Structure 1
């Protein structure tokens, strides 16, 4: 993952979220803190984090319910953080889709090490998987695109844009969100960049009856799969 990967920290203890954010920021990660689980879940599509550090015992909805709801739309890494250390609690969290489990109190350096390890596993998992649609195969491992059984040469940014929207198919992204996830938070260009790259992709990938790159007027774009 990029050093500027974004991490959502969700814990009702403000001291905990601030401590985690302090250490993550020193490592080059971008963070956003939430002391309310419902607020964090509602802000997920806006912030689009690359990982979530999630406390289990919280008012509103607990970490287990949070994880259950999030897994309906995203496979990003989740590390559960809790004072509970019983084996059963860990099993429940992992079965619901958590990628790792750390018990409080914890050493910040251990948390950092676990975060990096989970990111490595997540990247490796996704590198080994190709996105397969009718007449279209997108493989992140070698940046290859096979369209109608022919290899299609795409510049890196066009490929990364296609891979991003296709791997999150049927989800609408604003131009700003796409810029942030594909070009990086520090990109200084305009949202017109996204429009230009989308146009080029459409010229090379004609809509299929099973999928298409769709403009959602006044919002942005999505890779729509029927």
Structure 2
């Protein structure tokens, strides 16, 4: 069966052109014209890839990408008219897998889509993320340390998923906050410190001398890879 692509684009004319082009290339498509509708479609239809325009009503593409990334590993390709390096990096920090700046060539768009779908297909059997003794099961939504399963809150699980995807990478508190349910509320980056303290009590042999969830002073946190 052909891959199902969700197109989130508020420009109706551009969305229709994109839909026709992708369907002519053999893909199934669903179109949403605002971020809230796109989020609903993503949750209900579970598409194989998301094409997200950055500037959308209700919820912009960056916020939508952050929410999607907390809930799914579906590939996300951002489509943006913003060309500054900071804007592009922000999209990647929110969890996007790739981006294209407008105007883009249709053939390049297809090439990016095919690359992301191949990558997702190769990683489809990787349902368990591992870093040292820590195993995060994305399907069962469980965390084990050695042979011991631990209870996590949704926010704690989201943080561990983020860290376990890239062991040894240092994430800032702001980046981790974006992955939790605290994003968009009155939570502050200090909320992450509380979550990390709670997680250390659950998974560290000695929470006062952590060897798994490590603080990188002046930057943020990382999960030890071995």
TM-score normalized with structure 1 length: 0.56
Give matches, 1:18-167, under 5 Å: 18-127=16-125, 129=126, 131=128
Give matches, 1:166-185, under 5 Å: 168-169=139-140
In structure 1, what is the Cα distance between the partners aligned to 2:59 and 2:127? 34
In structure 1, what is the Cα distance between the partners aligned to 2:123 and 2:19? 26
Unpaired runs of 5+ residues, structure 1, are 134-165, 171-209, 211-226
Residues 116 and 132 of structure 1, relative CA distance in 2, 3 Å threshold: closer
Most deviating of 58-67 and 116-125: 116-125
Shift of 1:105: 0.9
Residue deviations 1:53-83 (CA, integer Å, cap 9, x gap): 0000112111110011111110100000011
CA-based RMSD? 2.2
Residues 168 and 24 of structure 1, relative CA distance in 2, 3 Å threshold: farther
Q: Equivalent residue of 1:71, what SS?
A: helix
In structure 2, what is the Cα distance between the partners aligned to 1:125 and 1:78? 15
| Greater than 4 Å deviation, 4+ residue runs | none
